[in-house]
Amino acid sequence: MANVAVVGAQWGDEGKGKIVDWLSHRADVIVRFQGGHNAGHTLVIDDATYKMSLLPSGVVRRGKLSIIGNGVVIDPWALQKEIAAVRAAGVAIAPDNLIVGENATLILPLHRELDGLREEASGATRIGTTRRGIGPAYEDKVGRRAVRVCDLADPETLAGKIDNLLLHHNAIRRGLGHPPIVARDLLAALVDIAPDILQYAGPVWRNLARLRQAGKRILFEGAQGALLDVDHGTYPYVTSSNTVAGQAAAGAGVGPSAIGYVLGIAKAYTTRVGEGPFPTELHDAIGREIADRGKEFGTVTGRPRRCGWFDAVLVRQTATISGIHGIALTKLDVLDGLDAIRVCVGYRLGAAELDYLPAASARQAAVAPIYETLEGWRESTRGARRWADLPATAIKYIRRVEELIGVPVALLSTSPEREDTILVRDPFAD
């Protein structure tokens, strides 16, 4: 049985939460390996809806171990609040079913404030962050001045780390015309919340090694999408972490050989939240209809998502970079009833034709999509659970998408409901 990494193949919001939840009944362990509480997952299970940002999606299933890896940046107050909300919904959360990486970096209130201050100061050039402090926390991590989960266990050492951190942050705050952070206030807040977080803390890498030796099946859950990757995405309109499949190893503390199958999640169309290039974006009635049907609003921010046609060029590119073996195609039902459906098969840039998205932001913004038009279908695909339930033209659309991206469809999602899923190929069986 293969361990499986699930990653977004577009700009996030592809429906990873549902797919991870659906797959988690085949897994023993579910691991979040990057990002923070800027990534929202919505799960619809029977009559209950769960909205999570830090907890792995598999946490709603009994008997599964959930892990937040070292690659995640953790706001301890947000985690505390999310645990309380999920418990209130009837889900048990305890140290025996949740482990938090002791070497994970913490998001502090000063990170959230700095995120907002920078966005306000940027004006028209703002990135469109969620203002949750994700970027500033990752900056402190790579700058070797971060406060980590393990630091909460030693208040004396923690005080020195806070002093070192504030040398950097208070200089920035003064430059932006804001008062400095008082070290003792931050220390008191962290000491106060430390017991709530430390009860879950542990060496994730060691736990995963033992679980692998015991033959347990592990599901690695990514956040956002590959086009928001800090190296491979539409830079600078990206997140602050690596979102591609390779990060599953580094962000959880396992070797690359621990990941046997990479499942990419892609919508049957394309969406994006925030600023940045979007070659197939629609500004017409069809774009508004897709947004309406798909309920395209961000789980975390509530911001409306920009909508466009499926971009096969981009998904082929992210599939290559992440080594994707199979695609879970979601929200097929949103395209029901359209007379014609367009798919981007290439780009024009001046007189040239491109089969990839270039790295330079100016060139990304200048590309124009080359479309292929496919026949739509009038029948409903919503709630379909068998391949035989799909209209012939919908199957034709799926097959053409497979050809264009060079990756087979392994799963098909036809509604937000957990069981409205067609399994074409079981990732855990490879």
Nearest Cα to Cα of residue 232 among 7, 5, 4, 6: 7
Task: Give the other-Cβ count within 10 Å of 184's Cβ.
Answer: 9
Q: Is 41 a catalytic residue?
A: yes
φ/ψ (deg, to 5) at 273: -110, 140
φ/ψ (deg, to 5) at 274: 90, -165
**Active-site choice (37, 41, 232, 325):** 41
Q: Report the C-alpha gap between 143 and 172 in whole angstroms.
A: 15
Q: Report the C-alpha gap between 108 and 405 in whole angstroms.
A: 40
Buried b (16+ CB within 10 A) or exposed e, 363-375: ebeebebbeeebe
Q: Is 232 a catalytic residue?
A: no
The residues annotated with a catalytic role in the active site are: 13, 41
